[in-house]
Amino acid sequence: EGVFVNQGKNSLTDGVINRSKRMMLDTLGVGLLGTRTAVFNKALKYSQLFTSRERSSVWGQSDIILPPHYAAFVNGIAVHSMDFDDTWHPATHPSGAVLPALLALVETLPSQPSGLDLLLAFNVGIEVQGRLMRFSKEAYNIPERFHPPSVVGVMGSAAASAKLLRLSPEQCIHALAIAASSAGAPLANAATQTKPLHIGNAARRGLEAARLAQIGLKGNPAILDLDRGLGVYYKDYSPSAMADSAVRAYKWILEDQDVAFKRIPTHLGMHWVVDAALAAREKLQNAVGKFDLSQIRHVTLRVPPSKYVNCPLPATEHQARHSFQFNACTALLDNKVTVASFGDAQIGRSAMKELLGKVSLETPEDNLPSFDKMYCEVEIATHQGPSYTARCDTFYGHWRKPLTLKHLVEKFSVNASSVLCTEGVERVIDVIGNIERVADCSILGSYLRMTRNQERLDRMRIL
């Protein structure tokens, strides 16, 4: 309750605001890029079956609007469709469940929420996720049974939506209780087209929970305190009450724990193995003057134990994004991993199949399944005799080695420009960069619809 009631706009520090803006910009960029994916377009086709008096924008679509909860659904799916969105510690994808719900909601409110209203609601949603995960030691590790955004993400979406709707403390509690009954998705659907739906459903169901609480629907107000409540998702769930604090003394988790931003569209763990593979490749090439597949006798990957990212022979893009083996081999063969690395042609090429057949995994006891403690080591054994080994403890983009603002904006620009016109890209950057001073944040919706195709049509009309 304290997260909802005690925190006003002046409780957001410069550090929290700056980190929030980075998260928002990155989420919008990967979401726009994700509107080009098959899973997004299937979800969009389904969602267009529904209409309502309230309508919200679909990112990257100049002529499509949807009921708010379906806009949150498809935009959330777009954010996670390529596994390109931010990752936090304990492990979850915090922004994708919250921002699509809020942006869908702001377009329906007569009060015209400000950018600062959006920032505060966003941080309430992020904070609730962080606090819930800190009630469990299990949550600090790479997940094994369920996908965390499907649990804490829907709670964060409900909390953020409740804050933006200005619900009473009692209504906020019931919003969380309602959301908890939509929580949970098995990790068996990782590496499939269904995984992005975990984020889309979290955004949608959290928004719906807040709306239902607003009109008086009630749940169990003790849902966060019970083993048979949110505790069903964590074996060691042990909630504790928040200490009372004055507004100015409140300390947001985001102040101390930054997020990781991905440079490549894969599961976060792949970033370690890619950087290690690139370094090992460079050592081999420097030693013999060239790199050739025929030189390689065997490749050993030393990684943390995690079954759902151990995929020795991926057949789809989603499996490839969750494969230590595929990402290491792509780095070795191409000296890079990019958005284009996960196409069917890249996955099915003969050189990839040959190299994958030479790869084995080891899981050293000291390599813990935690995004804060893991490492990856790549050893290339050659037919000539020597082996070349490199290790990555912290990749560039991790919270210990964050992307510079320049590189973060470059990532957004490249992703967004695949869908938006130049003016749209620039306006989104400007609005997010100054979001705390924006009078009406719903303006973002119009900029997220400024597509390249619409720009061409406008020019043709002028001619």
Domain assignment present for residue 196? The answer is yes
Last residue of a domain, one of 219, 239, 261: 261
Domain assignment present for residue 310? The answer is yes
Question: Is residue 214 domain-shared with residue 237, that is, in the same domain?
Answer: yes
Question: Is residue 188 domain-shared with residue 219, that is, in the same domain?
Answer: yes
Hey, what long-range contacts does 408-412 have (CB within 8 A, 24 or more apart)?
408/22, 408/25, 408/26, 408/261, 409/25, 411/26, 411/29, 411/261, 411/263, 412/25, 412/26, 412/28, 412/29
pLDDT: is 225 or 2 the higher one?
Answer: 225
Question: Is residue 190 domain-shared with residue 326, that is, in the same domain?
Answer: no
Span 67-110, pLDDT tens digits = 999 999 999 999 999 999 999 999 999 999 999 999 999 999 99
- For the cut 70, the answer to whether the pLDDT of residue 454 exceeds it is no
Please state the φ and ψ torsions of residue 413, each to the nearest 5 degrees. Answer: -60, -45
Question: Is residue 254 domain-shared with residue 273, that is, in the same domain?
Answer: no
Domain assignment present for residue 350? The answer is yes
Per-residue pLDDT at 463: 47
276: left (phi over 0), alpha (psi -120 to 50) or beta: alpha
Question: Is residue 219 domain-shared with residue 241, that is, in the same domain?
Answer: yes
Question: Is residue 68 domain-shared with residue 217, that is, in the same domain?
Answer: yes
Per-residue pLDDT at 2: 52
Span 274-289, pLDDT tens digits = 999 999 999 999 999 9
Number of domain units in the chain:
2
Span 343-356, pLDDT tens digits = 999 999 999 999 99
Question: Is residue 162 domain-shared with residue 310, that is, in the same domain?
Answer: no
SS3 per-residue string spanning 190-245: CCCCCHHHHHHHHHHHHHHHHHHHHCCCCCCCCCCCCCCCHHHHCCCCCCCCCCCC
Per-residue pLDDT at 453: 77
Element containing residue 100 per DSSP (H, E): helix 99-106
Domain assignment present for residue 11? The answer is yes
Domain that holds residue 255: 3-261
Per-residue pLDDT at 242: 73
Last residue of a domain, one of 203, 226, 261: 261
Per-residue pLDDT at 144: 83
Domain assignment present for residue 77? The answer is yes
Domain assignment present for residue 406? The answer is no
Question: Is residue 305 domain-shared with residue 193, that is, in the same domain?
Answer: no
- For the cut 50, the answer to whether the pLDDT of residue 158 exceeds it is yes
Question: Is residue 109 domain-shared with residue 159, that is, in the same domain?
Answer: yes
Average pLDDT value for the chain: 94
Question: Is residue 13 domain-shared with residue 84, that is, in the same domain?
Answer: yes
Per-residue pLDDT at 143: 84
The CATH number covering residue 53 comes to: 1.10.4100.10
Question: Is residue 327 domain-shared with residue 198, that is, in the same domain?
Answer: no
Last residue of a domain, one of 228, 261, 294: 261
Question: Is residue 185 domain-shared with residue 252, that is, in the same domain?
Answer: yes
